[in-house]
């Protein structure tokens, strides 16, 4: 079920921006990020804490969030996308979400 906050955020992003959307999802155990092209309805790139090199590492959640942010930024820049709209969904811009966003910005993404 999509919460009121995430509906409101998504509506504003789609209405105002024609950029690709960088969406973040957080479960109790894992963190996921994906870039979506809303016009085509296609996922362009994704990164998560379930990738092979990250599952075997004994990193803390904050370190994983930073690595995931860097990975998604590198994959998007390789595909020629430097500007995205950050969709934090129902989460506050704080904690793991903030760490992921700041590491993606540090790698060269603009949002």
Q: Please give the average pLDDT of every successive group of 10 residues along the chain, which has 111 residues.
A: 83 81 95 94 96 90 96 97 92 96 97 89
* CA 99/CA 93 separation, integer angstroms: 9
Query: Where do the domains of the chain lie, and which CATH numbers do they carry?
Result: 4-106 (3.30.420.100)
- Reduced to 3 states (helix: H, G, I; strand: E, B; else coil), residue 87 is strand
Q: Which residue has the tokens 């092979």?
A: 52
pTM of the model: 0.88
C-alpha to C-alpha distance for 82 and 85, rounded to whole angstroms: 10
Q: Rounded to whole angstroms, what are the CA distances from 64 to 33, 54, 68, 106?
A: 12, 7, 6, 15
């Amino acid at each position: 079920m999509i919460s009121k906050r995430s509906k409101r955020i998504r509506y504003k992003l789609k209405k105002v921006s024609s950029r690709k959307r960088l969406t973040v999802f957080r479960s109790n155990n894992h963190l996921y990020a994906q870039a979506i092209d809303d016009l085509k309805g296609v996922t362009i790139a994704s990164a998560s804490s379930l990738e092979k090199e990250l599952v075997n590492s004994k990193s803390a959640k904050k370190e994983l969030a930073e690595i995931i942010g860097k990975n998604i930024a590198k994959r998007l820049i390789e595909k020629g996308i430097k500007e995205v709209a950050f969709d934090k969904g129902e989460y506050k811009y704080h904690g793991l979400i903030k760490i992921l966003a700041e590491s993606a910005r540090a790698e060269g993404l603009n949002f």
